[in-house]
Structure 1
Amino acid sequence: MASLWGTRRVAGRKSQFRAVKSMQAGPDLSIPTHFRCPISLELMRDPVTLPTGITYDRQSIETWLDMGNGTCPVTNRTVAPGQDQLVPNHALRRMIQDWCVAHREYGVERIPTPRIPATAAQVVEMLSEVAAAARRGDGARCREVVSRIRTLGKESERNRRCVASNGAAAVLSAAFGAFARDSNGARSADAKEEILAAVTGMFPLGEEACAHLGTPDSLRSIVWIAKCGGLAGRLNAVLVVKELVHTDRPIVDAVAGIDGMAEALVKLIREPISPQATKASLVAVFYLVSSDEKTASRFVDMGLVPLILEILVESDKSMTEKALGVLDGVCSSKKGRQQAYGHALTMPVLVKKIFRVSEVATEFSVSTLWKLCKNYGSEGEAEAEGERPGCLVEALQVGAFQKLLLLLQVGCGEATKEKASELLKLLNVSRGRLECIDSADFKALKRPF
């Protein structure tokens, strides 16, 4: 909560800069004391008064109360919990606006009239309308009300919390499930896309919401939207899938078992619609391929390994970490390793990413190398005359030995250290066959074997 307070204070200072830049333009101009918030000491944009009679800026006092404080900061008197204790001070707000207008010659901008914050009663009423429309199968009415809920949540973080805290995620997910059970799914397609868009603004989802979205009917609807929906709908669909696979194993298995889910995720990676959608798809695939070897093999059959290697050639830090995680997951399966062995980019890309991106990327790279090198030769691979060299020799050619040795010297996690040590032993056996890189720069390093 302290970081949240700091973030809001910084945001508040930025928003106030335009209003108070007259301090720089006119040395004699100062903000009246009663226009300043007692907490932030800045010009109030939305003054509200506590039952104690003290007026604060809404953002400042809400943050104070959200941090668990139950008293008025000035009087130290106890304040009953609940946002209904904050009464808008319209008279003071108009005085502040008039003051801004009167001093516009100094560059002061008029503070806009704030929107009325959402109330719990208002949110509950709208959610009841959503539930009723879903029971009737009225997609048009449901879409209209959900759109209003989304707009309300976007107006401010306070509104978003108010919507989420009144069980919106569970109600909306139940409505999505109701429309998903409709035999004529196309009739409610717009409503379902609107619901998914609203749900993405309420992460993390609770158990009840995940249970509604994790049913076979709901998952099939999500797959349809991910494949055939609009750009925003496809993005929201994959964001929901990513959220679902973060939960317990039964839901992960349910997601993995839905026909078309793997194809939809791979398509979003192969034919990206936005970086956010691609990253969300990679995270979802990571959890799915890590669940069992059969699921990983399904993704391999769709050409995921060469697709991931192409992404790794040139991508940002976040994308690289996620892609390496997926590659590490699929290489836990024999079929995934077979495809990795046959691709010319595998070893160069994995070795290159060690030290080049982040600690997470290094750990995934070492783990994938370890899986490939440890299993090489035991799964029917052999070096044929005239073909590319084997896995171990190729790793040596691109400098894996030196990088792993340096990794142990610099330091890494215990699991990565064990894998790196085992890799060095495996590679050391093949070093006599090929001295591929001048290692004079590493002679001073102590070797662990």
Structure 2
Amino acid sequence: MKDPVTAITGITYDRESIEHWLFRNKNTTCPVTKQPLPLDSDLTPNHTLRRLIQSWCTQNASFGIDRIPTPKPPLNKTHVQKLLKEMTDSRFQLKSLMQLELLAAENERNRKCLLENGVPKSMIMFLVDCYKKGEILEGIEEALSFLQFVKVPTEEVKNLLSENDQILDSLTWILSSEVKNSVAVKSHAVIVLKRFINKCDSILLERLKPEFFEKIVNVLKHGVLTQQGLCSALHVLLCCCPLGRNRLMMVEVGLVHELIEIELTAAHEKRITELTFGILFHLCSCANGRFQFLSHEGSIAVLTERIMKGSMTVDDRGVFILSLISKFSATKNVLDEMLKVGTVKKLFVLLQGDHAKYLKDKVMQMFKAHSEVWKNSPCFPQTSFYAS
């Protein structure tokens, strides 16, 4: 025990442990007495016990025991408001941003205090102001990092989006800007963008412009994202896919090609493949998307290779993409390639395995539609197998 505090139930705990119990695990009872212990209840420092612990540490220093330091006072509204005021002064702006980031990283109690005092909104407005001025100011990395530490509640995100229509533009502007520590900053930006895009309503998603998708595709193309950043960027795109106009814009900015390149060149990770296949399924629902998919020499091969690798989501999306190709874009060359790269063989193996009936039905539809082309292949099922 390093920082003893007494709850309103009269039980003394280590501050870090009880705050983890309350804030991280969202418990509302005292662990010992089981009495109600609201999240906003006071935790009073137990100075007497802390001095006793420090005294014991001092007496046992010869045994290698270090004296625990006197805890810092908890973060309070006055300190937060002082830092927010300094944020508006260019002389102290960077220093205050750095201090706020450090406080957010420190513990859950600080994050709760910072959230209650409106710091996330101030951070967002700082980024919007940078965007309006067209200046990459010092402190952008700290502001983005802060927004990763502090989870902004859904309602507050929605309010921020309704109050300011330049938040999404500000975040994608960072993706296209020259910044120091580029990989970290752009990864932070797209992670924050994911949190906001998750809360966007259909009206806001319908107002997205081609530049929004172009900037995301560019960071995918140049590989300037961490693995977490890449997953977040793909998640953003997948959230935008249900709207037809967004799918068309994604195709026009070359997203199909970049998704296939990610699968061909990036370290294989199940979650990334699930996201890329999810987006490709949506994009292949339009003719131009299927055309661009088939224009890439490695598209069918990589799609085939990823199926039946341990992810039901990948199997689902992969079969549905092949079904779209089979139904709308099955030229003789495409069907021959599906034989050449093992697609037909893989589908037959899937048909024999323990997979959902709807997937097997999709495979059977493809077999029936193209049996005349594939029937002489040794991997193609006999007529008695697929005829029904």
TM-score, reference length from structure 1 = 0.71
Q: Which residue in 2 is equivalent to 1:435?
A: 377
SS of match in other structure, 2:268: coil
**1:269, 1:278 within 8 Å by CA — same for their partners in 2?**
yes
SS of match in other structure, 1:189: coil
**2:263, 2:302 within 8 Å by CA — same for their partners in 1?**
yes
Pairing 1:245–2:245 present: no
Most deviating of 330-339 and 199-208: 199-208
Q: Percent identity?
A: 30
Q: Distance in 2 between matches of 1:330 and 1:278?
A: 19
Q: By how many angstroms is 1:337 displaced? A: 0.6
Most deviating of 65-74 and 195-204: 65-74
Pairing 1:226–2:175 present: yes
Q: Which runs of 4+ in 1 moved over 6 A?
A: none
Q: By how many angstroms is 1:210 displaced? A: 4.6
Give the partner amino acid of 1:93: R
Pairing 1:57–2:5 present: no
Q: Which residue in 1 is equivalent to 2:154?
A: 206
From the superposition, tell whether residues 81 and 311 of structure 1 become closer, same or farther in structure 2 (CA, over 3 Å).
Answer: closer
Q: Which residue in 2 is equivalent to 1:344?
A: 297
- The Cα offsets for residues 388-408 of structure 1, whole Å up to 9 and x where unpaired, read as xx2233223333334334434
Give the partner amino acid of 1:404: L
Q: By how many angstroms is 1:172 displaced? A: 3.2
Q: Which residue in 2 is equivalent to 1:263?
A: 214
From the superposition, tell whether residues 71 and 216 of structure 1 become closer, same or farther in structure 2 (CA, over 3 Å).
Answer: closer
- CA RMSD in angstroms, aligned pairs only: 3.4
Q: Which residue in 1 is equivalent to 2:138?
A: 190
Pairing 1:153–2:104 present: yes
Aligned counterpart for 1:356 among listed residues 303, 309, 321: 309
**1:143, 1:195 within 8 Å by CA — same for their partners in 2?**
no
From the superposition, tell whether residues 225 and 75 of structure 1 become closer, same or farther in structure 2 (CA, over 3 Å).
Answer: closer
- The Cα offsets for residues 401-434 of structure 1, whole Å up to 9 and x where unpaired, read as 34334434444456545533433433434322x4
Most deviating of 348-357 and 142-151: 142-151
Q: By how many angstroms is 1:108 displaced? A: 4.8
Q: By how many angstroms is 1:47 displaced? A: 1.3
Map 1:351-390 → 2, pairs under 5 A? 351-377=304-330, 382-383=331-332, 390=333
Q: Which residue in 2 is equivalent to 1:281?
A: 233
Q: By how many angstroms is 1:320 displaced? A: 2.2
- Structure 1: gaps of 5 or more residues: 1-43, 384-389
Q: By how many angstroms is 1:350 displaced? A: 1.0
Q: Distance in 2 between matches of 1:304 and 1:70?
A: 47
- Structure 2: gaps of 5 or more residues: none
Q: Distance in 1 between matches of 2:312 and 2:21?
A: 37
Give the partner amino acid of 1:435: S
Give the partner amino acid of 1:268: V
Q: By how many angstroms is 1:336 displaced? A: 1.5
TM-score, reference length from structure 2 = 0.81
Pairing 1:394–2:337 present: yes
Most deviating of 260-269 and 63-72: 63-72
Most deviating of 307-316 and 166-175: 166-175
**1:244, 1:251 within 8 Å by CA — same for their partners in 2?**
no
- The Cα offsets for residues 212-241 of structure 1, whole Å up to 9 and x where unpaired, read as 457454443323311113313322222222
**1:396, 1:431 within 8 Å by CA — same for their partners in 2?**
yes
Q: By how many angstroms is 1:309 displaced? A: 1.9
Q: Distance in 2 between matches of 1:271 and 1:393?
A: 33
Q: By how many angstroms is 1:154 displaced? A: 0.5
From the superposition, tell whether residues 344 and 242 of structure 1 become closer, same or farther in structure 2 (CA, over 3 Å).
Answer: same
Q: By how many angstroms is 1:155 displaced? A: 0.6
SS of match in other structure, 1:161: helix
SS of match in other structure, 1:322: helix
Pairing 1:300–2:251 present: yes
Aligned counterpart for 1:319 among listed residues 266, 272, 288: 272
From the superposition, tell whether residues 337 and 139 of structure 1 become closer, same or farther in structure 2 (CA, over 3 Å).
Answer: farther
Q: Distance in 2 between matches of 1:265 and 1:347?
A: 24
Q: By how many angstroms is 1:436 displaced? A: 5.0
> Which structure: larger Rg?
1
**1:150, 1:198 within 8 Å by CA — same for their partners in 2?**
yes
Q: Distance in 2 between matches of 1:190 and 1:309?
A: 36
Pairing 1:419–2:359 present: no
Q: Aligned pair count?
A: 378
Q: Which residue in 1 is equivalent to 2:40?
A: 82
From the superposition, tell whether residues 224 and 177 of structure 1 become closer, same or farther in structure 2 (CA, over 3 Å).
Answer: closer
- The Cα offsets for residues 240-267 of structure 1, whole Å up to 9 and x where unpaired, read as 222222222223233x31x532222112
**1:49, 1:86 within 8 Å by CA — same for their partners in 2?**
yes
* Higher relative contact order (CA closer than 8 Å, sequence separation 6+): 2
Give the partner amino acid of 2:109: R
SS of match in other structure, 2:5: strand
**2:368, 2:386 within 8 Å by CA — same for their partners in 1?**
no
Q: Which residue in 2 is equivalent to 1:46?
A: 3
Q: Distance in 2 between matches of 1:194 and 1:275?
A: 20
SS of match in other structure, 1:56: strand
Q: Distance in 1 between matches of 2:30 and 2:165?
A: 50
Q: By how many angstroms is 1:175 displaced? A: 4.6
From the superposition, tell whether residues 168 and 365 of structure 1 become closer, same or farther in structure 2 (CA, over 3 Å).
Answer: same
SS of match in other structure, 1:190: coil
From the superposition, tell whether residues 150 and 367 of structure 1 become closer, same or farther in structure 2 (CA, over 3 Å).
Answer: same
From the superposition, tell whether residues 206 and 139 of structure 1 become closer, same or farther in structure 2 (CA, over 3 Å).
Answer: farther
